Amino acid sequence: MKPDLFDLTGKKAIVTGAAQGLGRGMAEGLMEYGAEAVLLDASATVETAATEFRNRGFACHALRVDLSDRNALQRTFKEAASLLRDRVDILVNSAGIQRRHPPEDFPIDEWDAVINVNLTAVFMLCQLAGKIMLAQGSGKIINIASINSVVAGKNIPAYTASKAGIQQLTRSLANHWASKGINVNAIAPGYFDTPMNTNINSENNPTRYGELLERIPARRWGEPADIKGTAVFLASRASDYVNGVLLPVDGGFLGL
């Protein structure tokens, strides 16, 4: 019998931003490989997503929370852990927002909003999950960074700063926790066709869409299913000796 390095049976997962897009795709992957998951999201559609997953036989729960509200974040994380019987094997931080303005006109309240959701909430969730994982002596944290952790893009200074922060936060946590059985890694998605990118997709901004497509060696944008395998890998024992990496899932964008 082949060993199943990717089996997640019985593993308990918390996935943020899981109502749609990449978070939903990754949560689906973890559950397909056996994990029980709590989906956290600000959108009411998180309930619908969880119902659809339960109808497919997955162990899935949903909690609504605005992760930029620090008290709500702490309260809801506790609730999520308690739904998982106070075990957290996997944390996927996928909730994120994008705001686009030229740097000289970038409103400071939008800067704060991006940093709060994309960076501060991720750190707080890593802290909360990290404490449980340290007590367990094991855990997998997957932070969703971006190709913008490495290349700056256009009109997205706050997003770029937040995602570069995620790369170094991931390394910093990995430095401290790798020896304690916790793997902290980041995924850097390229361009994916999700609601986050509606205003630069082929329909709404064909010029920018075309420029970006030209820059992707795979000659296509990604779909949420394209990121599942990487999430399962980083959540499973197949990645037990992988620490602090930024793993691009980008159709080759960063290599061009």
Give the residue numbers annotated as catalytic, written as ranges: 159
Q: Which helix (H) or strand (E) holds 60?
A: strand 60-64
Question: Using CB under 6 A, which of 96, 130, 139, 251 touches ligand NAD?
Answer: 96
| Helices 225-235 and 21-32, packing angle to 10 deg | 50
Subset of 210-239 contacting ligand NAD (CB under 6 A)? none
Q: Is 209 in the site for ligand NAD (CB under 6 A)?
A: no
Task: Determine contact, residues 34/89, Cβ cutoff 8 Å.
Answer: no
Nearest to ligand NAD of 94, 167 (CB atom): 94
Taking alpha carbons only, the member of 237, 131, 123, 120 closest to residue 183 is 237
Nearest to ligand NAD of 146, 239 (CB atom): 146
Give me the least distance between CB of 148 and ligand NAD, in Å please: 7
Subset of 10-49 contacting ligand NAD (CB under 6 A)? 17, 19-23, 41-43
Q: Is 164 in the site for ligand NAD (CB under 6 A)?
A: no
Q: How far apart are CA 225 and CA 134, in angstroms?
A: 31
What is the chain's alpha carbon radius of gyration, rounded to the nearest angstrom?
17
Give me the least distance between CB of 114 and ligand NAD, in Å please: 9
Q: Interior CA angle at 115 toward 109 and 121, to 5°?
A: 125
Task: Please report, for residues 140, 206, 253, the alpha-carbon distance to residue 31 in angstroms, rounded to integers and kept in the order given.
Answer: 15, 36, 29
Backbone angles phi, psi at 74, to 5 degrees: -65, -45
Question: Using CB under 6 A, which of 8, 30, 91, 97 touches ligand NAD?
Answer: 97
Question: Using CB under 6 A, which of 103, 195, 206, 252 touches ligand NAD?
Answer: 195
Give me the least distance between CB of 143 and ligand NAD, in Å please: 9
Give me the least distance between CB of 113 and ligand NAD, in Å please: 8
Strand partners, 222: 192
User: Residues in the site for ligand NAD, rule: CB under 6 A?
Assistant: 17, 19-23, 41-43, 65-68, 94-97, 117, 144, 146, 189, 191-192, 194-197
